[in-house]
């Protein structure tokens, strides 16, 4: 991995965690082992979103064992959107790799995405098989169809693990209050000229932890966010392409 790391940008590897006591320790230790031997600049961030199990205790106990690990805690559960945004705000490297702690995506996927970072500003690790129920599959399809239909931006698999230039996160504050924020950021980045691609990967089905599924409330909030984003982007002035990219 050293030959990959020497020419790779710095990466903030971020993990949201909510009631993942069965998997979070192993995921973070595996990430540490992979990254420590990679040769590139990195940091590991994990945000415990008010877990009611031992997740917080486990991640705190890893600080002394895992180099470059930073732990964030929410006193109460704030939800996945707030957790993502907290991790993004704390990231300090050139790129941000947002992963999960439920063992569906292996951190080693990062090494497949990094070679694409020289040409692309966002690389989405799109899922070949999402292991979803019929209802959730339909909601996922809708979630990814809306950006294309309303905004002319194909997000592919907006809710998937992704490698993203941190500049995009800083440049485009989101108005979404639900996980549609992930699609919104891709919409804004694409409209401003940032380059987005996908890299198909195989992921495992969740075997432990607490699957959140899709609730009626989450769907309603996402619909409201579509309207918020629509109103917001219509007011935006035309964005020029990023000056430091593609030159």
**Tens of pLDDT, residues 115-167:** 999 999 999 999 877 666 777 777 777 878 899 999 999 998 888 999 999 99
Q: Given this model, what pLDDT does residue 208 score?
A: 53
Question: Does residue 247 form part of some domain?
Answer: no
Low-confidence ranges of the chain (pLDDT < 50): 1-6, 244-247
Count CB-CB contacts under 10 A for residue 64. 8
Question: Does residue 176 form part of some domain?
Answer: yes
How far is residue 167 from each of residues 22, 90, 240, measured CA to CA in Å?
34, 13, 14
223: which 2 tokens? 């619909």
User: How many Å apart are CA 74 and CA 70, to the nearest integer?
Assistant: 14
Q: Given this model, what pLDDT does residue 132 score?
A: 61
Q: Given this model, what pLDDT does residue 4 score?
A: 42
Question: Does residue 245 form part of some domain?
Answer: no
Question: Does residue 242 form part of some domain?
Answer: no
Question: Does residue 39 form part of some domain?
Answer: yes
Q: Are 28 and 48 in contact (CB under 8 A)?
A: no
185: which 2 tokens? 């950021």
Number of domains into which the chain is organized = 1
Question: Does residue 240 form part of some domain?
Answer: no
Question: Does residue 243 form part of some domain?
Answer: no
Whichever domain contains 161, its CATH number is: 3.90.550.10
Q: Given this model, what pLDDT does residue 210 score?
A: 55
Question: Does residue 241 form part of some domain?
Answer: no
Is pTM beyond 0.95? Reply is no
Q: By residue range, what is the domain housing residue 190?
A: 2-235
34: which 2 tokens? 């992979």
């Amino acid at each position: 991995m050293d030959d990959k790391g020497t020419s790779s940008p710095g990466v903030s590897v971020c993990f949201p965690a909510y009631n993942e006591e069965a998997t979070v320790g192993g995921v973070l230790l595996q990430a540490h082992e992979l990254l420590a031997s990679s040769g590139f600049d990195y940091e590991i961030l994990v945000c415990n979103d008010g877990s009611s199990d031992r997740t917080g205790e486990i991640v705190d106990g890893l600080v002394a064992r895992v180099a470059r690990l930073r732990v964030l805690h929410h006193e109460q559960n704030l939800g996945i959107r707030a957790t993502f945004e907290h991790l993004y705000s704390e990231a300090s490297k050139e790129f941000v790799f947002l992963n999960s702690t439920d063992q569906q995506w292996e951190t080693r996927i990062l090494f497949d995405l990094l070679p694409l970072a020289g040409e692309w500003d966002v690389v989405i690790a799109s899922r070949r098989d999402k292991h979803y129920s019929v209802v959730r599959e339909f909601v996922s399809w809708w979630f990814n169809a809306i950006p294309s239909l309303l905004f002319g931006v194909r997000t592919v698999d907006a809710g998937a693990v992704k490698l993203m230039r941190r500049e995009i996160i800083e440049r485009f504050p989101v108005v979404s209050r639900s996980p549609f924020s992930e699609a919104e950021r891709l919409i804004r980045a694409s409209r401003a000229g940032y380059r987005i691609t996908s890299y198909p990967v195989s992921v495992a089905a969740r075997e432990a932890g607490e699957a959140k599924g899709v609730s009626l409330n989450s769907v309603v909030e996402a619909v409201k966010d579509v309207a918020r984003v629509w109103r917001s982007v219509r007011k935006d002035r035309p964005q020029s392409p990023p000056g430091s990219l593609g030159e």
